[in-house]
């Protein structure tokens, strides 16, 4: 793998960019691997990367039925934060946020991490109490957040309207080291590093069955043939339930679409991320000037990756109250992603009833921010059978009543 640098860019410019190599290989699958990861999104690629980096397991295949990063990794709004109330949530998201800080240097690939800060607006008295409680919990967890008043919110976000007609801005929970990263670049960077370790990234290869013997996984059937493995990681976001059924067990989750849109590019006007959970909308400005806007999930189960007019209308109408200037913008494009939601709106990172098979899913609408931490914990679980990061997120919690209810704690499952 060639090292990317300013010198390399200058050198290739002088020879008309004829010396660049492919970022990752696209080989045919081998007959057998030590581990197979199903899903070449951020979480799957991060799992494979840390299996190789931390545990030396490099005979790994990452199988993707479409193209690399073409699922939720390429369809999200790129928000990174760790200001969660529950201790297990704060631990894994803060691990991810910390890894994001140096990920460009570690992968030798610019993921465009921007620690611009994230504000979660309080627009009711209930939210004030809730976010102040979270700020105290974060202090105990070692997560740096603070409660700020409306004057400080206005200072950070000059375009905001503090006196909304329905919900005035009463303050906010501010995480200065939260921010955004380029979603595609995260997947590409991990893929390049995995390929450099000798791992196979196999695209356009759909899993059609999971083979097992005596209660243990032995391989998968795919559209490119049967592939044997010792360990199997299922990391397929909104299709987790379908893969679990192939493996012979069920998961307590459901799939719904989450929609987002971006506006036409405008001059820089907002350099932080703002989340408004009462009206249910969030917004940031991309490096190209687009206003990146998202809201809640669809109210019904579906697998569509297209947006719908009524949902966009609902999200934009809510945000126009807080940011009147966006009423004059034109929409550039819209899209949807398929997210899998658990009952407590927290993820599943767990062993499964099928020995040697592991599941990573149920991230709901907050998966992108967790990618490095999720991959780190999942790799540890697959390699050693235990991870302190993932222990609380096991499947057992649903039958034991150990819920990690972030939807109640935060009022929203982002």
**pLDDT on residue 413:** 45
27-82+85-105+183-252+344-410 and 118-178+255-342: same fold?
Answer: no
Helix (H, G, I), strand (E, B) or coil at 402: coil
Tell me what pLDDT residue 304 has: 84
Q: What distances in angstroms separate CA 354 from CA 36, 211, 227, 347, 350, one per listed residue? A: 15, 10, 17, 19, 11
Which of the four pLDDT bands, split at 50, 70 and 90, describes residue 301? confident
Class of domain 27-82+85-105+183-252+344-410: alpha beta
Encode pLDDT of 368-398 as tens digits: 999 999 999 999 999 999 999 999 999 999 9
pLDDT in tens, 153-166: 999 999 999 998 78
Tell me what pLDDT residue 408 has: 53
DSSP state of 114: B
Per-residue pLDDT at 137: 96
CATH code of the region 118-178+255-342: 3.30.9.10
Interatomic CA distance for residues 317 and 324, integer angstroms: 10
Domains of the chain by residue range: 27-82+85-105+183-252+344-410, 118-178+255-342
- pLDDT value at 57 more than 60: yes
Structure tokens at 184: 């595609």
The contacts of residue 385 (CB under 8 Å, 6+ apart) are 351
Mean pLDDT, all residues of the chain: 93
User: In percent, how much of the chain has pLDDT > 90?
Assistant: 82
Which span out of 88-102, 284-298, 322-336 was modeled with the highest average pLDDT?
Answer: 88-102
Q: Does the pLDDT of residue 411 top 80, yes or no?
A: no
Asked if residue 1 has pLDDT above 90, the reply is no
| CA distance linking residue 403 with residue 88, whole number of Å | 11
Instruction: Please calculate the CA angle 31-239-283 and round it to the nearest 5 degrees.
Output: 125
pTM of this prediction?
0.95
Structure confidence by residue, pLDDT tens digits, 207-251:
999 999 999 999 999 999 999 999 999 999 999 999 999 999 999
């Amino acid at each position: 793998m060639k090292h990317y640098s300013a010198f390399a860019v200058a050198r290739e410019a002088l020879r008309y960019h004829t010396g660049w190599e492919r970022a990752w290989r696209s080989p045919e699958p081998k007959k057998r691997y030590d581990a197979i990861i199903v899903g070449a999104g951020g979480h799957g690629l991060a799992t494979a990367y840390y299996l190789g980096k931390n545990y030396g397991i490099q005979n790994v295949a990452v199988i993707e039925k479409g193209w690399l990063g073409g699922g939720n990794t390429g369809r999200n709004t790129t928000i990174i934060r760790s200001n969660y109330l529950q201790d297990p949530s704060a631990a894994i998201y803060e691990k991810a946020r910390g890894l994001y800080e140096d990920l460009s240097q570690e992968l030798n690939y610019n993921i465009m991490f921007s620690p611009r800060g994230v504000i979660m607006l309080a627009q009711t008295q209930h939210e004030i109490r809730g976010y102040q409680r979270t700020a105290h919990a974060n202090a105990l967890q070692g997560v740096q957040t603070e409660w700020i008043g409306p004057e400080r919110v206005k200072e950070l976000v000059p375009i905001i309207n503090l006196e909304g007609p329905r919900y005035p801005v009463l303050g906010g929970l501010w995480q200065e080291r939260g921010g955004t990263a380029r979603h595609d670049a995260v997947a590409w960077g991990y893929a390049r590093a995995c390929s450099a370790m000798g791992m196979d990234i196999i695209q356009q290869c759909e899993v059609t069955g999971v083979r097992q013997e005596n209660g243990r996984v032995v391989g998968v059937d795919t559209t490119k043939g049967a592939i044997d493995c010792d360990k199997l990681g299922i990391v397929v976001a909104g299709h987790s339930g379908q893969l679990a059924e192939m493996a012979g067990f069920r998961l307590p989750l459901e799939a719904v679409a989450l929609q987002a849109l971006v506006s036409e590019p405008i001059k820089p006007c907002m350099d932080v991320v703002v989340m408004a959970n009462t009206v249910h909308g969030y917004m940031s400005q991309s490096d190209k000037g687009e206003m990146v806007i998202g809201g809640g999930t669809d109210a019904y189960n579906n697998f569509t990756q297209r947006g719908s007019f009524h949902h966009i209308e609902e999200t934009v109408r809510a945000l126009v109250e807080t940011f009147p200037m966006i009423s004059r913008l034109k929409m550039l494009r819209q899209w949807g992603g398929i997210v899998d939601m658990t009952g407590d709106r927290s993820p599943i990172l767990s062993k499964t009833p099928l020995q040697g098979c592991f599941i990573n899913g149920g991230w709901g609408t907050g998966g992108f921010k967790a990618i490095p931490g999720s991959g780190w914990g999942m790799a540890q679980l697959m390699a050693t059978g235990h991870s302190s990061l993932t222990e609380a997120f096991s499947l057992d919690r649903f039958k034991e009543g150990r819920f990690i209810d972030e939807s109640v704690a935060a009022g929203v499952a982002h």
